């Protein structure tokens, strides 16, 4: 309880501090370069100076935090990745060489590509289908809310929920895991799903699909509603059926949004860590890059060189999407 | 679509949506129902049978010989095998693990040493012997009983007190609240500068923010951990503190905050600001009195995102706050329980539900803003 009071206190202090900074610097700036009540030339000169400085005062705290917490670490990670486990001696590319020869790393890369193929595709597909279907029924909004709900659940919470579904009891005893109960009801043998090499990846992916479908649905639903009515009406008049309208008229018009959803989920997949840690911790050949990296950060006292090298690999995989995002944003700003 | 074909198609839509909704809600529903069940029932039957009477095979142990009483020249140990469960009905019993259901309720079983065991359907039992019984360990009684469904908050009481979930709940709140509020103000000023104050390099800064949106958190961990250790050693303070994690969450949340708020502010009508400027208002006044109030929907969107993210985060918390018993947040505690109490579903389900209840409340009460934020937050394509 005491720490909660401390937290609220810090929060208030932080907010007041920020407010004081923004107000104070603004005030001082106006004091040094006053523009009110001065003669024409001096006033306009001072106004020009304050207008040039003020944006940077407004930006300074944000730029400082971004630099310390994101830009500096990106540079330092690359630096650490060519140094030894304590980050002291330069070792060249040996961390990367180790990586290429490490079976667990190759396993992680393989699994990560599986995740990249399956999760964005399935989540986008389900999201699109659900968005299209729920638009046609009166209780569509309730359905959407319920499917959107897993978005709010933490990866760890979701892992517990699904581990319960995959729970395995020895053959002959009553299954309390839903999946095994269904399998047994249909006459199959119960399986310890998350310990089955290769296939367990898909059982872990199901969790992320379950969480992310709501996100895809919300964005795609808005995009579908933005489609001009005339195009659909014209297709109806031309005698197109439901499938044709959906796949040939509607989907092509929202390709851009589909790509955004796809890439957003792709980024998330590259960073997936909590689910694997909570479900298998990389055992039974289910390791992924983010969990492997976390492993190396702390395993045996921690090997920062190898951990950083794995982080750099994740970063490199993200860069194409980053470039694409920046280009899109730039294009959009020119359009304004 | 003509009316004749519409009807079956509509039914198909209704049915498939119903199926999808079931698929998406059943996992959570199963967790909630399970967390409220009696732990013995939870361990032997699926949550979908929670409302039906379950048949359980149970082993009970009679009290030791020191509790025997002499009655009519015989020695008697009595008790209730169903003690502890609310109600139930014993159908069969036995005294060896090979034949746990050898006798029907109400029958009398002859034990190996001449004692007689009778178990009634209501669970009461008697062991009767002609001679004084010896031994401190009581007779084992195997029985099959039909136990009616039982719901209880016991699991919640247990995890909140004994498993440290209560303390972790406070830790999570301590992390999440300042981590949500502090970035908002910083980002709001920066977003205003990027949206409405012309200065050289503005376009590049916006591009940088968009780029930073997708930088994987993993990149930051090792350098920041080193940095925190260095700062901690230099000032002689612990490296893992709440202040440290608040600032970390602030830094990681800023790109999204700036991006969301800038997009929103850039969409505000230019006329408002120009007329205010003509009236002699400074940038600071315009921001505080006009922009900030108008941006409330965007601020709310970001606040919800950031709260959900900091509350649900595991990685940042265990790296920057530590994995010790005192500082574990809810997600970290849950991962630990998964390891140590992996088979105790009554503990896991109740703990998991406590960790997800706060985000669910936030989600259901503020969903409108969440959707709006999502729509604004994803970089628009094409």
The answer to whether residue B214 scores a pLDDT higher than 80 is yes
Q: Does B25 touch chain A (CB under 8 A)?
A: yes
pLDDT, residue A209, reads: 95
Q: What is the pLDDT of residues A31-59, one digit of tens each?
A: 888 877 777 788 888 888 888 888 898 89
**What is the overall mean pLDDT for chain A?**
88
Flag if A210 and B220 touch (Cβ within 8 Å). Answer: no
Q: Which of residues 130-159 of B touch A (CB under 8 A)?
A: none
Class of domain A95-335: mainly alpha
3-state secondary structure at position B236 = coil
Q: Does B111 touch chain A (CB under 8 A)?
A: no
| Model confidence band, residue B102 (pLDDT cutoffs 50, 70, 90) | confident
- The whole-number average pLDDT for the span A8-15 is 81
Distance, CA of A109 to CA of A122 (rounded, Å): 20
Task: Give B367's contacts in chain A (Cβ within 8 Å).
Answer: 145, 148
Torsion angle, alpha carbons of B178, B179, B181, B186, to 10:
120
pLDDT, residue B4, reads: 46
pLDDT, residue A312, reads: 93
- Using a pLDDT cut of 70, give the percent of chain B over it: 95
Give the minimum alpha-carbon distance from B21 to chain A in angstroms, rounded to a whole number: 6
Flag if B181 and A15 touch (Cβ within 8 Å). Answer: yes
Flag if B170 and A278 touch (Cβ within 8 Å). Answer: no
Task: Give A52's contacts in chain B (Cβ within 8 Å).
Answer: 199
- The whole-number average pLDDT for the span B37-52 is 81
User: Going by C-beta distance under 8 Å and a sequence separation of 6 or more, which residues neighbour residue B43?
Assistant: A176, B345, B346
Closest chain B CA to residue A3: B174
pLDDT, residue B128, reads: 84
pLDDT, residue B1, reads: 44
pLDDT, residue A11, reads: 76
Task: Give B215's contacts in chain A (Cβ within 8 Å).
Answer: 70, 74, 315, 318, 322
pLDDT, residue B3, reads: 47
| Model confidence band, residue B86 (pLDDT cutoffs 50, 70, 90) | low
Distance, CA of A50 to CA of A32 (rounded, Å): 9
ipTM above 0.85, yes or no: yes
Of A10, A87, A145, the CB nearest to B178: A10
pLDDT, residue B153, reads: 87
The answer to whether residue A334 scores a pLDDT higher than 60 is yes
The answer to whether residue B60 scores a pLDDT higher than 70 is yes
CA distances in angstroms from B322 to B28, B59, B171, B242, B244, listed in the order given: 29, 43, 12, 10, 11
> Residue ranges of the domains in chain A?
2-81, 95-335
Q: Which two tokens stand for residue A57?
A: 């005062």
User: Going by C-beta distance under 8 Å and a sequence separation of 6 or more, which residues neighbour residue B66?
Assistant: B136
- The whole-number average pLDDT for the span B167-182 is 88
More confident residue, B215 or B73: B215
pLDDT, residue B382, reads: 33
Most confident of A118-127, A292-301, B95-104: A118-127
Q: What is the pLDDT of residues A108-145, one digit of tens each?
A: 999 999 999 999 999 999 999 999 888 888 888 899 99
CA distances in angstroms from A274 to A39, A158, A289, A304, B372, listed in the order given: 63, 10, 12, 20, 27
pLDDT, residue A128, reads: 93
Give the minimum alpha-carbon distance from A311 to chain B in angstroms, rounded to a whole number: 5
Query: Which residue from A154, A287, A176, A7 is spatially nearest to B334, judged by alpha carbons?
Result: A154
Q: What is the pLDDT of residues A162-189, one digit of tens each?
A: 999 998 888 878 888 889 889 988 988 8
- The whole-number average pLDDT for the span B325-330 is 85
Distance, CA of B56 to CA of A75 (rounded, Å): 61
Containing B76, the helix (H) or strand (E) segment is strand B74-80
pLDDT, residue A59, reads: 92
The answer to whether residue B89 scores a pLDDT higher than 90 is no
Class of domain B157-377: mainly alpha
pLDDT, residue A125, reads: 94
The answer to whether residue B2 scores a pLDDT higher than 50 is no
Distance, CA of A303 to CA of A307 (rounded, Å): 6
| Model confidence band, residue B271 (pLDDT cutoffs 50, 70, 90) | confident
Distance, CA of B91 to CA of B264 (rounded, Å): 69
pLDDT, residue B309, reads: 92
Q: What is the pLDDT of residues A313-328, one digit of tens each?
A: 999 999 999 999 898 8
Q: What is the pLDDT of residues A239-260, one digit of tens each?
A: 888 788 888 888 888 888 899 8
Closest chain A CA to residue B207: A326
| Model confidence band, residue B85 (pLDDT cutoffs 50, 70, 90) | low
Closest chain B CA to residue A15: B182
More confident residue, A73 or A86: A73
pLDDT, residue A60, reads: 92
pLDDT, residue A288, reads: 92
CA distances in angstroms from B181 to A16, A120, B126, B176, listed in the order given: 11, 32, 66, 9
The answer to whether residue A296 scores a pLDDT higher than 70 is yes
| Model confidence band, residue B377 (pLDDT cutoffs 50, 70, 90) | low
pLDDT, residue B381, reads: 39
Distance, CA of A194 to CA of A180 (rounded, Å): 12
- The whole-number average pLDDT for the span B144-162 is 82
């Amino acid at each position: 309880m005491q720490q909660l009071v401390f937290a609220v206190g810090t929060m208030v202090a932080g907010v007041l501090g920020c407010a004081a900074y923004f107000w104070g610097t603004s005030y001082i700036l106006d004091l040094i370069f006053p523009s009110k009540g001065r003669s024409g030339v001096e006033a306009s000169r001072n106004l020009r100076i304050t207008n040039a400085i003020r944006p940077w005062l407004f930006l300074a705290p944000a730029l400082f935090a971004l630099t310390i917490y994101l830009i500096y670490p990106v540079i330092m990670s690359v630096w650490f990745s060519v140094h030894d486990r304590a980050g002291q001696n330069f070792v060249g590319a040996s961390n990367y060489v180790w990586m290429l020869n490490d079976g667990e790393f190759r396993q992680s890369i393989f699994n990560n590509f599986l995740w990249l193929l399956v999760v964005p595709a399935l989540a986008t597909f389900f999201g699109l289908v659900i968005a299209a279907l729920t638009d046609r029924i009166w209780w569509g909004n309730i359905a959407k809310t319920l499917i959107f709900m897993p978005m709010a659940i933490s990866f760890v919470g979701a892992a517990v929920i699904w581990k319960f579904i995959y729970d395995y009891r020895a053959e002959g005893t009553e299954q309390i895991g839903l999946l095994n109960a269904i399998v047994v009801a249909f006459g199959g043998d119960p399986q310890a799903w998350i310990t089955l090499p290769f296939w367990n990846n898909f059982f872990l992916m199901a969790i992320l699909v379950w969480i992310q479908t709501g996100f895809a649905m919300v964005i795609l639903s808005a995009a579908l509603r933005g489609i001009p009515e005339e195009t659909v009406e014209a297709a109806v008049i031309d005698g197109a059926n439901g499938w044709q309208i959906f796949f040939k008229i509607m989907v092509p018009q929202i390709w851009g949004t589909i790509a955004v959803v796809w890439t957003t989920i792709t980024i998330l997949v590259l960073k997936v860590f909590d689910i694997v840690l909570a479900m298998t911790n990389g055992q039974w050949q289910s390791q992924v890059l983010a969990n492997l990296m976390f492993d190396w950060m702390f395993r045996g006292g921690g090997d920062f060189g190898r951990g950083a090298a794995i982080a750099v690999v994740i970063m490199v995989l993200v860069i194409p999407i980053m470039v694409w995002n920046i280009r899109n944003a730039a294009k959009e700003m020119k359009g304004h | 679509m003509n009316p004749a074909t519409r009807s079956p198609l509509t039914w198909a839509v209704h049915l498939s949506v119903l199926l999808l909704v079931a698929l998406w809600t059943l996992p959570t529903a199963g967790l909630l129902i399970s967390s409220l069940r009696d732990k013995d029932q939870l361990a032997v039957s699926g949550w979908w049978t929670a409302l039906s009477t379950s048949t359980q095979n149970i082993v009970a142990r009679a009290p030791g010989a020191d509790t025997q009483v002499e009655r009519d020249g015989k020695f008697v140990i009595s008790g209730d095998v169903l003690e502890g469960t609310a109600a139930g009905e014993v159908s069969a019993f036995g005294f060896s693990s090979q034949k746990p259901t050898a006798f029907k309720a109400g029958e009398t079983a002859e034990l190996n040493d001449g004692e007689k065991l009778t178990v009634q359907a209501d669970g009461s039992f008697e062991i009767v012997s002609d001679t004084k019984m010896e031994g401190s360990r009581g007779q084992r009684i195997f029985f099959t009983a039909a136990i009616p469904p039982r719901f209880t908050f016991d699991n919640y009481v247990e995890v909140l007190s004994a498993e440290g979930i209560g303390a972790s709940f406070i830790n999570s709140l301590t992390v999440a609240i300042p981590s949500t509020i502090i970035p908002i103000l910083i980002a709001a000023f920066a977003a205003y500068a990027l949206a409405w104050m012309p200065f050289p390099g503005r376009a590049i800064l916006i591009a940088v923010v968009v780029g930073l949106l997708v930088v994987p958190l993993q990149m930051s961990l090792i350098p920041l951990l080193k940095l925190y250790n260095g700062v901690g050693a230099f000032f002689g303070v612990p490296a893992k503190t709440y202040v440290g994690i608040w600032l970390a969450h602030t830094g990681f949340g800023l790109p999204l905050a700036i991006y969301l708020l800038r997009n929103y502010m850039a969409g505000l009508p230019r006329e408002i600001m120009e007329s205010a400027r003509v009236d002699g208002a400074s940038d600071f006044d315009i921001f505080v009195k006009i922009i900030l109030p108008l941006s409330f929907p965007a601020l709310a969107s970001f606040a919800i995102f950031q709260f959900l993210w900091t509350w649900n985060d595991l990685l940042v918390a265990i790296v920057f706050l530590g994995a010790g018993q005192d500082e574990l947040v809810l997600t970290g505690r849950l991962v630990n329980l998964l390891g140590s109490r992996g088979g105790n579903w009554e503990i896991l389900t109740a703990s998991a539900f406590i960790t997800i209840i706060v985000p669910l409340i936030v989600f259901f009460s503020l969903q409108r803003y969440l959707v709006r934020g999502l729509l604004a937050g994803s970089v628009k394509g094409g």
